[in-house]
Amino acid sequence: MTLNDTHDPALTSWVDSANRADADFPIQNLPFAVFRRRGTQEAFRVGVAIGDQIVDVHALRTLRVITGTASDALEAAHGSTLNRFMSAGASAWTTLRAALVGMLRGDSSHRAAVEPTLVPQAIAEYALPATIGDYTDFYASVHHATAVGRLFRPDNPLLPNYKWVPIAYHGRSSSISVSGGSVRRPHGQLLAPGADKPQLGPSRRLDYEFEVGTFIGVGNTLGSPIAIESAEQHVFGLCLLNDWSARDIQAWEYQPLGPFLAKNFATTISPWIVTMEALAPFRTSWQRAAEDPQPLPYLDSPSLRSGGAIDMELEAFLETKRMRSDSRPPHRLSRSNFRHSYWTVGQMVAHHTINGCNLSAGDLLGSGTQSGPQPEEAGSLLELTSGGKLPVQLPAGETRTFLEDGDSVIFRAWCERAGQRRIGFGEARATISG
Amino acid sequence: MTLNDTHDPALTSWVDSANRADADFPIQNLPFAVFRRRGTQEAFRVGVAIGDQIVDVHALRTLRVITGTASDALEAAHGSTLNRFMSAGASAWTTLRAALVGMLRGDSSHRAAVEPTLVPQAIAEYALPATIGDYTDFYASVHHATAVGRLFRPDNPLLPNYKWVPIAYHGRSSSISVSGGSVRRPHGQLLAPGADKPQLGPSRRLDYEFEVGTFIGVGNTLGSPIAIESAEQHVFGLCLLNDWSARDIQAWEYQPLGPFLAKNFATTISPWIVTMEALAPFRTSWQRAAEDPQPLPYLDSPSLRSGGAIDMELEAFLETKRMRSDSRPPHRLSRSNFRHSYWTVGQMVAHHTINGCNLSAGDLLGSGTQSGPQPEEAGSLLELTSGGKLPVQLPAGETRTFLEDGDSVIFRAWCERAGQRRIGFGEARATISG
């Protein structure tokens, strides 16, 4: 089997649920997470999703069905975080992927050994997939930057540096949690309209931001930039990321050094990291509009132009307490696509390191809110409600400007293209508590 | 011996160098670092400074001269980082301090056993004292904020939030290094005056910022703020911190989300962490000028008013390549005092967590550049040279606006007060390489 065969849409698995057309996790995907059986005291360990099941790397190791160089890669993936496997690099990732496909494909002789060790996703709970040393948040959607800029600086929405510099700031690692929990509404200094002094109180303008997260695999040495041509060799994979934001705290605190308490109370990520290799069939060309500045050479390359962007559909949903008690499905707030991003993942890595800054395995880069060009493609309530002025209409007469206690925000994403199997990201979900 | 006796200025040590009046590390200090013998492959381990020697905690453990509850504290301090000891909390810190004083005081019976295990600081090299999960940089000097604000925003130097909000942003953990190394001049996007597009190049306005670093000892749970009255129980100690800054990169990139590549290429800290207990005799009252807003209740307390500030002298020196070859001593650029800080360490901790953000043992808080009220007390070249317009005069006719390759920047600090032994911080030093 050649490696490219791992994308063959005709491949099926002996795990039947992986073969459904709407499955997030067909055999062509094989994303990684850290999990255990919910409610147990089991050690958290690395798992790989296939259909509605999880391949338990710890169990797999004792089965000895993966041999040769792939067994070294499996060994690197064994543990309570993915950091070691991330740092093992592209050849380990590719080797293990090929071995897992061989083990899970319909005609594999390993079904009898492996099937009893699978863990249903329905009974799993997740931990963060990696120890995240540093978390950086970019601002890579020009549509978001323009829309938000208009609200904070009506006279000057898009600053002169935006189209030259992939703007970013450092975020808080300690408050990143995996999907499924709750987020406590933050208190902070709020300056009421017209007031001459701030007061401490709970945020009244609590919002989500729909971002794509990038996990760094192979780091770089302090002082040694990563060239754009090799930038993606340093990237392990992508996840979904909710950069919870308290707009009222942000408006008062953010000048001159950027957001701090408005953001660092919580960040939620999806449990599954979809590898760059699984995303290979969904790469798409990247170009800068003729009227925009072309990127400086350290942010430009032929491979960026031919396939630097990723065609990835993004959907945000809201589920209120009332929807839950009425058994209504979550309400879709917006839909967009990561291909609209003004800056690509490779450009983020090259820019982040151009000054010598060192990235490490497990570092997380947020893409910034991924709003599309149309107003209904906005990735935050701030944008969807024009700064809280025009409430979003929900089923059964409910409305929202910002989030209320009991609201759950759910992100989903997937890639699809004619002639390819759909590659899904699962979901990132959390519920606001008071 | 009661615990307060550890500050008794009459206490002397059998380590003679600790008894010199100008010693940084008398028996009343006992700061912590992580060290090994330079040029060896020894494991890095925790050490305590006494005079010009280091108490080797690893060796001390096998001597069994520290017993009882203090031996539990010693056990927590044993390892390649201080994180476990930091998280052990104030009673462990106090207990070990008392036991170390008992062991090192002039009349101790343990001299014969301990003396052979001491390591001279002259042959030591240092590692970071802790694994730093998150690094936050405050902006706590109103004199710095005003002076820099004037340069970046002449019409609007001090923003309206400054006197209410302890402004801060998240920094980069991965590029923090311990004193003694080199810092590579960063490359980045630079917008030349009058140019209509940026170019990539080496920073020409490379600067230092003199800050005081705070190491968190005991963290808090996500969602649970730390009250100002108990804030300092969460603080392990202080160090010196150089927040290297590329002013030209900063000017172009920093809006709207704050500094990023202008700062994250390097941060240098001193190896020794001076504990809050050692600093107890140098606490000083804190008050807000009558014309300034009084702090919101979550940032105010009686103990803050009576002794929230720290009387700590700060000195920055420059040593050029030429000074080294001429065997001239480093040139003092400025002197200031941490008591001028507009916000205290306790206020930084209370503010950082008011929204529920969780701090962890080993987290580092920078104070922001500690400039005093007088122009010659400024903690950066940006301020000392009025934005690069008025060069600093150095010996032998040299001048500087910003740092040149081969320049070493050296920070020193100490506390002194009548009737107390001087408590020093050692130094934080690094040299610019091209």
- Contact in structure between B212 and A179 (CB atoms under 8 Å): no
Residue A30 region, left (φ>0) first, then alpha (ψ -120 to 50), else beta? left
**Residues A393-427: tens digit of each pLDDT:** 999 999 999 999 999 999 999 999 999 999 999 99
**Residues A201-217: tens digit of each pLDDT:** 999 999 999 999 999 99
Contact A298 B200 (CB under 8 A): yes
| Dihedral angle computed from the Cα positions of residues A412, A418, A419 and A423, in that order, rounded to the nearest 10 degrees | -10
| Cα–Cα dist A134/B365, whole Å | 15
- Contact in structure between A243 and A61 (CB atoms under 8 Å): no
Partner B contacted by A260 (CB < 8 A)? yes
Partner A contacted by B172 (CB < 8 A)? yes
Is there a catalytic annotation at residue A170?
Answer: no
Name every residue whose Cβ is closer than 8 Å to that of residue B147 and which is 6 or more positions away in sequence: B157, B371, B378, B382, B383
A174 Cα distance to chain centroid: 17
Query: Looking at the partner chain, which of B136, B149, B175 has a beta carbon nearest the beta carbon of A222?
Result: B175
| Cα–Cα dist B424/B23, whole Å | 7
Q: Measure in Å the smallest separation between the Cα of B69 and chain A Cα atoms.
A: 31
| Cα–Cα dist B96/B100, whole Å | 6
User: What residues of B are in contact with residue A354 (Cβ under 8 Å)?
Assistant: 187-188, 200, 261
pLDDT at B4: 57
Helix (H) or strand (E) holding B207: strand B206-207
Partner B contacted by A157 (CB < 8 A)? no
Partner A contacted by B133 (CB < 8 A)? yes
pLDDT at B153: 81
Q: Measure in Å the smallest separation between the Cα of A175 and chain B Cα atoms.
A: 6
Partner B contacted by A175 (CB < 8 A)? yes
| Cα–Cα dist B376/B338, whole Å | 15
- Strand stretches in B276-312, DSSP E: 283-284, 309-310
Question: Hey, what amino acid is at B322?
Answer: R
Ordered by where they begin, the domains of chain A are 3-127 (2.30.30.230), 135-433 (3.90.850.10)
Of the residues B7, B143, B144, B234, only one is catalytic, namely B144
Helix (H) or strand (E) holding A54: strand A53-56
pLDDT at A201: 98
User: What residues of A are in contact with residue B256 (Cβ under 8 Å)?
Assistant: 149, 152-153, 159, 167, 254, 258
- Contact in structure between B381 and B401 (CB atoms under 8 Å): yes
| Preceding peptide of A271 cis, ω within 30° | no
- Contact in structure between A48 and A100 (CB atoms under 8 Å): yes
At residue A210, the 3 state secondary structure works out as: strand
Partner B contacted by A9 (CB < 8 A)? no
Pairing relation of β-strands B182-184 and B187-190? unpaired
| Cα–Cα dist B208/B380, whole Å | 6
Angle at B61 between CA B53 and CA B11, to 5 degrees: 45
- Token couple for B363: 């987290």
Q: Measure in Å the smallest separation between the Cα of B26 and chain A Cα atoms.
A: 36
To the question of whether residue B209 is assigned a binding role by annotation, the answer is yes
Q: Count CB atoms within 10 A of the CB of residue B356.
A: 22
| Cα–Cα dist A216/A87, whole Å | 8
Residue B63 region, left (φ>0) first, then alpha (ψ -120 to 50), else beta? alpha
Q: Measure in Å the smallest separation between the Cα of B229 and chain A Cα atoms.
A: 17
Contact B357 A174 (CB under 8 A): yes
Query: Looking at the partner chain, which of A134, A175, A297 has a beta carbon nearest the beta carbon of B174?
Result: A134
| Cα–Cα dist A433/A175, whole Å | 16
Strand partners, B31: none
Q: Count CB atoms within 10 A of the CB of residue B162.
A: 20
- Contact in structure between B82 and B129 (CB atoms under 8 Å): yes
To the question of whether residue B162 is assigned a binding role by annotation, the answer is no
With helix as H, strand as E and coil as C, how does B80-126 read? CCCHHHHHHCHHHHHHHHHHHHHHHECCCCCHHHHHHHCEEHHHEEE
Confidence of residue A4 (pLDDT cuts 50, 70, 90): low
Half-sphere exposure of residue A63, counting CA atoms within 13 Å on the CB side?
A: 19
Nearest Cα to Cα of residue A316 among A393, A404, A391, A381: A381
| Preceding peptide of A391 cis, ω within 30° | no
To the question of whether residue B243 is assigned a binding role by annotation, the answer is yes
Contact B198 A167 (CB under 8 A): no
Q: pLDDT over 90 for what percent of chain A?
A: 97
Query: Looking at the partner chain, which of A171, A184, A252 has a beta carbon nearest the beta carbon of B356?
Result: A184
To the question of whether residue B211 is assigned a binding role by annotation, the answer is yes
B94 Cα distance to chain centroid: 21
- Contact in structure between B116 and B79 (CB atoms under 8 Å): no
User: What residues of A are in contact with residue B199 (Cβ under 8 Å)?
Assistant: 296
Q: Which residues of chain B have pLDDT under 70?
A: 1-4
Q: pLDDT over 70 for what percent of chain B?
A: 99
At residue B408, the 3 state secondary structure works out as: strand
Partner A contacted by B296 (CB < 8 A)? yes
Partner B contacted by A109 (CB < 8 A)? no
With helix as H, strand as E and coil as C, how does B236-262 read? EEEEEEECCEEHHHHHHHCCCCCCCCC
Per DSSP, the residues of A90-156 read HHHHHHHHHHHHHHHBTT-TTHHHHGGG-EEGGGEEEE-SS--S-EEEE---HHHHHHHHHHH-TT-
**Residues B140-183: tens digit of each pLDDT:** 999 999 999 998 788 888 999 999 999 999 999 999 999 999 99
- Token couple for A117: 């060790």
User: What residues of A are in contact with residue B293 (Cβ under 8 Å)?
Assistant: 197
Partner B contacted by A251 (CB < 8 A)? no
**Residues A358-398: tens digit of each pLDDT:** 999 999 999 999 999 999 999 999 999 999 999 999 999 99
The annotation places the binding site of A at 137, 139, 153, 209, 211, 243, 250, 254, 263, 267, 369
With helix as H, strand as E and coil as C, how does B162-194 read? CCCCCCEEECCCCCEEECCCEEECCEEEECCCC
pLDDT at A371: 98
**Residues A237-281: tens digit of each pLDDT:** 999 999 999 999 999 999 999 999 999 999 999 999 999 999 999
- Contact in structure between A277 and A6 (CB atoms under 8 Å): yes
| Preceding peptide of B157 cis, ω within 30° | no
Cα torsion A317, A318, A319, A322: sign: negative
Rg (CA), chain A: 22
- Token couple for A28: 């062509």
To the question of whether residue B229 is assigned a binding role by annotation, the answer is no
Burial of B194 (0-12, 13-18, 19+ CB in 10 A): exposed
The annotation places the binding site of A for Ca(2+) at 137, 209, 211, 243
Residues in chain B: 434
Residue B356 region, left (φ>0) first, then alpha (ψ -120 to 50), else beta? left
Q: Count CB atoms within 10 A of the CB of residue A193.
A: 4
Name every residue whose Cβ is closer than 8 Å to that of residue A168 and which is 6 or more positions away in sequence: A136, A137, A138, A139, A348, A351, A352, A365, A368, B257, B260
- Token couple for B34: 């992580």
User: What residues of A are in contact with residue B357 (Cβ under 8 Å)?
Assistant: 172, 174-175, 261, 264-265
Confidence of residue A2 (pLDDT cuts 50, 70, 90): very low
Q: Is the pLDDT of residue A169 over 80?
A: yes
To the question of whether residue B137 is assigned a binding role by annotation, the answer is yes
Query: Looking at the partner chain, which of A159, A351, A355 has a beta carbon nearest the beta carbon of B256?
Result: A159
| Cα–Cα dist B101/B99, whole Å | 5
Rg (CA), chain B: 22
Q: What are phi and psi of B73, to 5 degrees?
A: -65, -40
ipTM for the predicted complex: 0.97
Contact B222 A139 (CB under 8 A): no
Helix (H) or strand (E) holding A352: helix A345-353
Partner A contacted by B170 (CB < 8 A)? yes
